[in-house]
Amino acid sequence: MNATSRIPGFYKLDPDSRFRRIVEASGLPADQLRPLQEKDAAMAAIADRMIENAVGTIAIPLGIAANFLIDGTDHLVPMATEEPSVVAAASNAALIARERGGFHTSGTAPVMIAQVQILDVADPQGARLRLLEARDELLELANAQDPLLVELGGGARDIEVRLVESGDFRCVVVHLQVDVRDAMGANAVNTMAEALAPRIAAIARGRSLLRILSNKADLRLVRARAVFDAEKLGGADVVDGIVDAYRFAAADPYRAATHNKGIMNGISAVVLATGNDTRAVEAGAHCHACRDGRYTSLSHFEKDADGHLVGSIELPLALGLVGGATRTHPTAQAAVTLLGVRSATHLGRITAAVGLAQNTAALRALATEGIQRGHMSLHARNVAAAAGAVEDEIGALVERMVADGHVRLDRARQLLAELRPEPEPHRQ
């Protein structure tokens, strides 16, 4: 338990002073907390601009997935993840997809939805039609909030009015649909929703409450498909195994959650590497997986007439290239540069291809040797390090643990003790 969490004026301090104050306030030794403190002054300043009360940063490994041929163009894909095997698996599946032309992608216009909630409406059906009659006025008012977006070819496109009811709760909800171009769009649509709310409330003759984007970004879809060569996958049995694995996910929400987690291993890694909002993307993806009222697989797998595996995926991806951490974080900037993307939708399409590759690799492993073998050597490295092995001891420990199939901390400690020479007995 911390001695106190009350530090008046904490937010006004610089990151180093904040660190000193949390050491005092926690009553813990500074050495134990030192890893929280940012060593690089420039990075500390960036972190301090990005979030409140920053003291440091946490470094997540950034790997580059290879072999991605997407819409006829090669891409090196930056992926930020703490999980072993993810980058290797995506690269392997991309290599197999290359054999038959790589990934083919498409996407809708980058349209986000903002919701304005109106309560206490006496005549919801009448209000709905009054609001639809005011469509042009509302769109004009929305676009007046963001002339730059309009100049760039984006802006408010349409409105939809829904009546939301549950038990004795009832509200009128206006959806403002906005083409946000290369932004993730939260700021643009939230500003518009807040500006429109009083007018919407007046037209509906009710009271506005929430004015916020929806992460169910189902007007901003991206799609990817690929043919995975049967022979390269390991033969017809492997193709059948992957199709059966997919059918399991399609039929069972318990399996679908794990299947989709495998997809998000790839997607979230690209989202994080490019400084985008992983939670927005995760929320949108899982909600999409439930769009027909039952949670199911985000991807599909089938066999083509020649027995090759056809994988496809469609999901909402609210990604941006302008604004947010993508603009302020130098690593995210470099990741976007390496990808060579032309627009936020282009980034979304590449990300969908990575999700499909990741999913295919996981299903292939699961339908054949199981997932553990591939995981083991990287996992064993982490376990060896956790047991206290130094760099030139890690290799030997990993080899032994993988060979006898016991990758555990107690085993690593035991092996380490065996490896290290006995200290000389103390002579009197």
> Which of 84, 107, 185, 262 touches ligand MEV (CB under 6 A)?
262
* Residue showing the smallest CB distance to ligand MEV in the complex: 262
Q: Which region, judged by CB under 6 A, interacts with ligand MEV, from 113-121, 258-266, 294-302, 342-350?
A: 258-266
CB of 365 to ligand MEV, least distance (A): 7
Residue labelled with tokens 């590497």 = 273
Structure tokens belonging to residue 330: 């130098």
Residue labelled with tokens 């001891």 = 393
Of the pair 103, 301, the CB lying nearest ligand MEV is at 301
CB of 255 to ligand MEV, least distance (A): 8
CB 207 within 8 A of CB 161: no
Site for ligand MEV in 159-218 (CB under 6 A): none
Residue labelled with tokens 């906005």 = 178
Distance CA(240)–CA(380), nearest Å, equals 31
CB of 335 to ligand MEV, least distance (A): 22
Reading phi first (left if > 0) and then psi (alpha if -120 to 50, else beta), residue 220 is in: beta
Instruction: For strands 111-119 and 207-213, give the pairing.
Output: antiparallel
Among candidate residues 282, 286, 299, 289, the one with its CA nearest the CA of residue 360: 299
CB of 96 to ligand MEV, least distance (A): 16
Of the pair 90, 186, the CB lying nearest ligand MEV is at 90
Q: Does 360 bind ligand MEV (CB under 6 A)?
A: no
> Which of 141, 196, 239, 362 touches ligand MEV (CB under 6 A)?
362
Distance CA(263)–CA(254), nearest Å, equals 15
State the DSSP string of 378-428. Answer: HHHHHHHHHTT--HHHHHHHHHHHHHTT---HHHHHHHHHHHSPPPPPPP-
CB of 363 to ligand MEV, least distance (A): 6
> Which of 130, 199, 247, 261 touches ligand MEV (CB under 6 A)?
261
CB of 142 to ligand MEV, least distance (A): 41
* x/- letters, 31..70, toward ligand MEV (CB under 6 A): ----------------------------------------
* x/- letters, 73..102, toward ligand MEV (CB under 6 A): ----------x-------------------
DSSP state of 322: B
Residue labelled with tokens 């282009």 = 346
State the DSSP string of 27-41. Answer: T--HHHHGGGS---H
Segments in 302-371 forming alpha helices (H) = 324-328, 330-339, 344-367
Distance CA(299)–CA(248), nearest Å, equals 12
Q: Does 378 bind ligand MEV (CB under 6 A)?
A: no
Q: CB neighbours (10 Å) of residue 423?
A: 6
Of the pair 172, 363, the CB lying nearest ligand MEV is at 363
Q: Which region, judged by CB under 6 A, interacts with ligand MEV, from 109-117, 256-264, 272-280, 324-332?
A: 256-264
> Which of 128, 223, 259, 308 touches ligand MEV (CB under 6 A)?
259
Q: CB neighbours (10 Å) of residue 12?
A: 8
Distance CA(327)–CA(332), nearest Å, equals 7
CB of 85 to ligand MEV, least distance (A): 8
Among candidate residues 134, 91, 90, 93, the one with its CA nearest the CA of residue 116: 134
> Which of 13, 50, 212, 371 touches ligand MEV (CB under 6 A)?
371
Site for ligand MEV in 282-341 (CB under 6 A): none
Of the pair 199, 375, the CB lying nearest ligand MEV is at 375
DSSP state of 177: E
Q: Does 223 bind ligand MEV (CB under 6 A)?
A: no
Looking at the annotation, which residues are catalytic?
83, 261, 277, 375
Of the pair 299, 351, the CB lying nearest ligand MEV is at 299
DSSP state of 11: G
Q: Does 265 bind ligand MEV (CB under 6 A)?
A: yes
Q: Which region, judged by CB under 6 A, interacts with ligand MEV, from 109-117, 201-209, 261-269, 326-334?
A: 261-269
316 SS3 class: strand
Greatest extent of the chain over all pairs of C-alpha atoms, in Å: 99
> Which of 2, 17, 53, 258 touches ligand MEV (CB under 6 A)?
258
CB 419 within 8 A of CB 396: yes
Of the pair 121, 269, the CB lying nearest ligand MEV is at 269
> What residues make contact with ligand MEV under the rule CB under 6 A?
83, 258-259, 261-262, 265, 362-363, 366, 371
